[in-house]
Amino acid sequence: MHEVSPKVTLVAKTEFLDFAIPPYLVDIGMGIDEAQKYMMKECSDAERLTMFGGKLCYNAFKAGLNPNVTKVRDRPDEYLNNILISCHGSVLEHASFTFLIWNASRVLTHELVRHRAGCAMSQESLRYVMPEDLGFFIPALIKSLPDGERHDLLREIESSVKDTEARHWQARQEVNLDEMKFADKKKWTSALRRILPQGMSTSIMFTMNLRAARHIIQMRTSRHAEEEIRIVFDKVGGILRAHCPILFGDFVTTEVDGVDEWVSPYPANPYDYNKEG
């Protein structure tokens, strides 16, 4: 057993292909020079794609293309902030970011996989992977105990996990797993994983669109969320704010128990405003 803390890195993100846009803009009535200059690089690719999707819905690439539209917002900060304020979140679903999360417990991943809408996951499989030296996250709640109580509880945790490791290793030797063909190894690896604790560390690749990200970051950094997942999504929020400062710049962060809680002033959908009209 060894103690670990969850780690997060960005491994992929949406790319906006400028060359694909001018033919469409020319077809809907823009001049070719105007069309080629249209998509200015004043924000991230994810934000540009979100903005393009919103403008496409209203044919609002310039005043006059749509007779109903006499004024357009061309500054990305003005346009995208209006998207957030009006809660038209569907256009945020076009852009996605992929994160690699490791040294995270299966406690965390069991909660993470509940987020299915707008997300994709690929997790290290204990049906195929045979773990040995188990990584283990120790919650701050345990570390906050008085010295004597903390040391006693940490010893119990370490003893329990090491005992599980030993029993798992012994079972592996008893069935002579290392000498089996792969098809049989897979069956026995799956059977023996039932001995292992859900607190052991694992790895998962997690992709989400930006609409999902805004919801999950607020939900999972809440002071009421589980500590380990709060740590992970505080890091995710920081990464997304650096890459998409307009679409994540509205969040207000407040440190709670050593981890930032992320809160947006905008509700999840326009009907949450409870306004007339």
Measured at the CA of 214, the angle between CA 220 and CA 238, to 5 degrees, comes to 75
Known catalytic residue at 114: no
CA dist 102 → 154, 175, 228 (Å): 22, 30, 12
How far is the C-alpha of 150 from the C-alpha of 155, rounded, in Å? 8
Measured at the CA of 72, the angle between CA 69 and CA 77, to 5 degrees, comes to 150
> Which candidate, 32, 92, 85, 81, places its Cα nearest to that of 57?
92
User: Looking at the DSSP assignment, which residues form a beta bridge with residue 105?
Assistant: 201
From the list 48, 211, 214, 220, the catalytic residue is 220
CA dist 99 → 63, 110, 144, 235 (Å): 39, 17, 30, 10
Catalytic residue positions?
A: 220
